[in-house]
Structure 1
Amino acid sequence: MRTLRPLVFLLVAAIWGTGFAVTEVGLRWLPPALFAAFRFDLAAALLFALAVWRGNRLRPAGRREWWPIVTGGVLLIGVHHALLFAGQQYVPSAVAAVLLGLIPIVTPALTRLSTTRERLTPIGLLGVGLGFLGVVTIANPDPSNLVGSDLRGVALVLGSALAFAFGAVLTHDATATMPMLAEQAWMMLVGAVVLHATSALLPGESLSGVVWTSAGVFSIVYLAVVAGAAGFALYFWLLRRVGPVEVSLLEYVIPLFAAVVGWVALGEAIAPTTVAGFAIIFAGFVLVKRQSIRTGLREWRDRSITATQRAD
């Protein structure tokens, strides 16, 4: 089971990385918060249908099972996306990327406020810092944008990062007793309700402004089924097993996949700063995961020695 974790980590990063290119296409036809709400409407419907098909219990039993649904749905899905979309109206995307890169930095601090015992060593903290430096290098924000960005936008995007980190910590600390599909279907539904409420409050967002095109529908379906239902299912599976600090490192790996997909699918150029950022993030990731890497290499060496001895 432990050998699956690195693969699931990379798979989630790849899935959510492709989501940036698909989102860029969908936003040409749909207002952002309503776009996200539609995405999680469909994802919730799909997961509920799968839960019914599998015969899972659908009704949460008491406060204990409602807790992860509310924390995951409201914070990880609803508030995070709502604040992010609202904030991106006032700040450049590069500034938003830098602010979201704070998630792996604030998550270890938030774990100290909870019951979890997950901690990073000083070398691990150095790795997290290198990862953040790599994100800044990839984003390559204009210094004038960092200084002159609208404070409303900075506050909103920073709030989205804090909501995601805090939601991950609280959801991880909750005891999982409900069937996974049903629990995540409720999370998607709660998040969709928060996003619909946000859309109703944001100027310029209404159903009358929606232009239904094949590209827009494809974007909703892809983000609902692949990035939404599948991506979040894998994310919560990983969160339960490695904890909020390690899973927060996704924010450093996702930009790598997003840049590659943007280059392949949309013809976006990969700048030298992007390559340098990749190298810095990789170095930071190795520092954080050095124990797991050392263990994996030792197991691989032992298996190789055993196979050689059997062959002899």
Structure 2
Amino acid sequence: MTAPANMPAVGVAGITAAAAVAPIVWGTTYVVTTQLLPAAHPMTASVLRALPAGLLLLAMRPGIPPRGWRLRTAVLGMLNIGCFFPLLFIAAYRLPGGLASVVGALQPLIIIALTLMLRWGRPSLAHLLWGIVALIGVSLVSVTGGASFDLLGFGASVLGTVSMASGILLTRRWGTPPNTHPLNSTAWQLIVGGAAIVPLIPVFDRGPWDPTAGGLAGYAWLTFIGGALAYSLWFQGARTLAPTGIALLGVLSPVTAAVLGWVVLGQALTLVQIIGFVVALGGSLGGQLTPAYRSRAALRQAIS
């Protein structure tokens, strides 16, 4: 398992399993958005996914970040939420055929590259290989023959992936402020990121916002499950597990979305996609079972 060497294996497995819930939940976003939410309001959905969830967690664990951590909290909030969400939606709207998911699956490889460039550790060759395996699997699951290329959408997808990868790296490196509950740190990231997206609503959203009862249920799902619960579990994993390992869990999101498209929406599931499922899950699992660093000294360097 990819975690500090002195952590019990049972504890690592539990944190990994909990963190895996987050991308699985996020994989439901496409079905919830297309079947329940009002159309053409992506930034409204982003804000309601982040801001109310952050306020809820803050009510549970009140307090403000200590001095010296406020800028760090703001940076993490922007990387993980404020920048990532808008770029994600732009990519999703402009890149058909699951191409955005494929670019997102590059995240483990981007984390490895950033780690080496910044000299924050020495990820193992095995993690690089598992990242490539996961990328191949997601490609088989997501890309269809009708996929087309859009420069703006591709650029947004790449920037969004780099933003989230940077957020994961810094979350692991910085950890949690002293004497601060992790939920409080998660709350402020959601609040900062959600607030930053509010001005984008009149720019990107179109038409009247008139949610039905189903729409309200969809927003509640995004807020409480996709926001408060999922990000609490995800950031716990990001603070504890190796960055490459947590990123490899992210491939569960497009896999879940494809499965739900088959089960709920009746979309066709090809033999190639089934093979892709197996390959992607194998890459994700292999990444969790592989030591993240070549030595304990390298690990100490990575988290110092």
Which of the five TM-score ranges fits, normalised by the shorter chain?
0.7 to 0.9
Mean Cα deviation higher: 91-100 or 156-165: 91-100
1:5 alignment counterpart: 15
Distance 1:120 1:143, change over 3 A: farther
Which protein is bigger by CA-based radius of gyration? 1
- Correspondences of 1:125-204 after superposition (within 5 Å): 125-142=128-145, 145=148, 149-176=149-176, 177=178, 178-202=180-204
Q: Does residue 19 in structure 1 map to residue 29 in structure 2?
A: yes
1:219 alignment counterpart: 218
Residues 127-171 of structure 1 show CA distances to partners (whole Å, capped at 9, x for unaligned) of 1101101111011233761xxx22111111111111111111122
2:5 alignment counterpart: none
Q: Distance in 2 between matches of 1:67 and 1:243?
A: 23
Q: Distance in 2 between matches of 1:242 and 1:175?
A: 11
Cα contact 1:103–1:165 (8 A) shared by 2: yes
| 1:197, distance to aligned residue in structure 2 (A) | 2.2
| 1:90, distance to aligned residue in structure 2 (A) | 2.4
| 1:223, distance to aligned residue in structure 2 (A) | 0.7
Q: Distance in 2 between matches of 1:275 and 1:188?
A: 35
Q: Distance in 1 between matches of 2:248 and 2:158?
A: 17
Cα contact 2:54–2:190 (8 A) shared by 1: yes
| 1:34, distance to aligned residue in structure 2 (A) | 1.6
Q: Distance in 2 between matches of 1:256 and 1:155?
A: 23
Could you tell me which of 84, 99, 112 is aligned with 2:88? 84
1:97 alignment counterpart: 101
Which one-letter code corresponds to 1:274 in the other structure? Q
Partner-residue secondary structure (3-state), 2:251 = helix
In structure 2, stretches of 5+ residues that fail to align are 1-10, 292-304
| 1:40, distance to aligned residue in structure 2 (A) | 1.4
1:254 alignment counterpart: 253
Count of residues in Structure 1 that have an aligned counterpart in Structure 2: 279
| 1:257, distance to aligned residue in structure 2 (A) | 2.2
1:230 alignment counterpart: 229
Distance 1:115 1:214, change over 3 A: farther
2:238 alignment counterpart: 239
| 1:72, distance to aligned residue in structure 2 (A) | 2.3
In structure 1, stretches of 5+ residues that fail to align are 53-57, 293-312
| 1:245, distance to aligned residue in structure 2 (A) | 1.2
Cα contact 2:127–2:244 (8 A) shared by 1: no
TM-score (normalised: structure 1): 0.82
Percent identity for Structure 1 against Structure 2? 25
| 1:110, distance to aligned residue in structure 2 (A) | 1.2
2:296 alignment counterpart: none
Q: Distance in 1 between matches of 2:286 and 2:184?
A: 37
Distance 1:35 1:9, change over 3 A: closer
Q: Distance in 1 between matches of 2:106 and 2:263?
A: 28
Residues 191-231 of structure 1 show CA distances to partners (whole Å, capped at 9, x for unaligned) of 111211222333xx26x621221111111110110011000
| 1:31, distance to aligned residue in structure 2 (A) | 0.6
Q: Distance in 2 between matches of 1:79 and 1:222?
A: 22
Partner-residue secondary structure (3-state), 2:94 = coil
Distance 1:113 1:251, change over 3 A: same
Distance 1:211 1:137, change over 3 A: same
Cα contact 1:29–1:213 (8 A) shared by 2: no
Distance 1:88 1:12, change over 3 A: closer
Q: Distance in 2 between matches of 1:34 and 1:276?
A: 36
Partner-residue secondary structure (3-state), 2:12 = coil
Q: Distance in 1 between matches of 2:152 and 2:258?
A: 27
Cα contact 1:115–1:173 (8 A) shared by 2: no
Cα contact 1:71–1:171 (8 A) shared by 2: no
1:263 alignment counterpart: 262
| 1:21, distance to aligned residue in structure 2 (A) | 1.8
Residues 30-72 of structure 1 show CA distances to partners (whole Å, capped at 9, x for unaligned) of 51112111221221221122124xxxxx122112x22442122
